[in-house]
Structure 1
Amino acid sequence: MTNTAAYEALEEIVDYLTGIPAWFLATIDESDATQPRVRPFSFAAAEQGKLWFSTSRDKDVYRELAHNPKFELSGWKPGEYWIVVTGQADLADDASASAALRQAGFEHMAGIGEHHDSPDDDRLVYFSVRNGIAHMRDIDGSERTLTF
């Protein structure tokens, strides 16, 4: 995939995810590898040619991703296709998250009722996606796949 195609894929994924109220991210329970855990997410951004999400270090999802970085997310926009994204969370990438990304994540989290002191609150963590694959699937059986 060319850089332009990869950028367009990321933009399409972010536009989709930010165009719905919530999508659902699944991880594996750190104490029981046979048990998936699912929760709503709603912050997504593209930066540095990567897909980014945010959470808090004091949440189960952070501990689960630290233990096993593999995840899958799914969301649906009425009247359109649904999306399934698989990948691995790069929690170490938090150190390279820009000030603009941190500000956007902080404002989003505050907007949904999460309480953090600032965009640089140590509890906030920003992670990028490695080995990302997005499947856009429609009820008619059609599917598009984007690798990023």
Structure 2
Amino acid sequence: MDEIVGYLTGIPAWFLATIDEHDAEQPRVRPFSFACADAGKLWFVTSRDKDVWRELSAHPKFELSGWKPGAYWIVVSGKANLADDAQVSEEVRQAGFAHMVGIGEAHDSAHDGRLAFFSVSDGIARFCDIDGSERRISF
């Protein structure tokens, strides 16, 4: 898990793909930049007023990908466990809030009801190289 989080936090952004809640054949992609590990889980944060939250609510499967120049790239697949929002630790909540405010989001506090945390279930991280090789980590 540390390797996955280290990679994601070592690049400015990666791109998370979901399925449009109104058109199950249309993927949607947007940049993300917060990831952390806590209690053996990979965590992300977003806002409940964003399309990504609605899309993950309708179709929890997602995939993300990011690339570090001069290195391999990462692909993470899994299901967004939205119910884990109620169980997120205070440490993750504070870090997510600080991150969101740092990128220009307007949230009142770490307990702002618009902040939404989700963990990953059935996760697979693939570290892929240009030569076609890859290494997988299931979590």
TM-score bucket of the superposed structures, by smaller chain = over 0.9
Match of 2:50 among 52, 59, 62: 59
Query: Which among 93, 97, 117 is matched to residue 108 of structure 2?
Result: 117
Match of 2:19 among 24, 28, 33: 28
- In 2, the alpha carbon distance for the partners of 1:43 and 1:117 equals 18
TM-score by length of 1: 0.93
Instruction: Output the amino acid matched with 2:90.
Output: A
Q: Which runs of 4+ in 1 moved over 3 A?
A: none
In the alignment of these two chains, the number of paired residues is 139
Aligned counterpart, 2:128: 137
**RMSD over aligned Cα atoms:** 0.4
Gaps of 5+ in 2: none
Q: Distance in 2 between matches of 1:19 and 1:91?
A: 25
Task: Tell me which moved more, 19-28 or 133-142.
Answer: 133-142
Structural mapping, 1:38-53, within 5 Å: 38-53=29-44
Instruction: Determine the C-alpha separation between the residues in 1 that align with 2:20 and 2:132.
Output: 31
Aligned letter for 1:119?
A
- Structure 1 stretches lacking a partner, 5+ long: 1-9
Code of the residue aligned with 2:73 in structure 1: it is W
The alignment partner of 2:23 has SS state of coil
More strand by share: 2
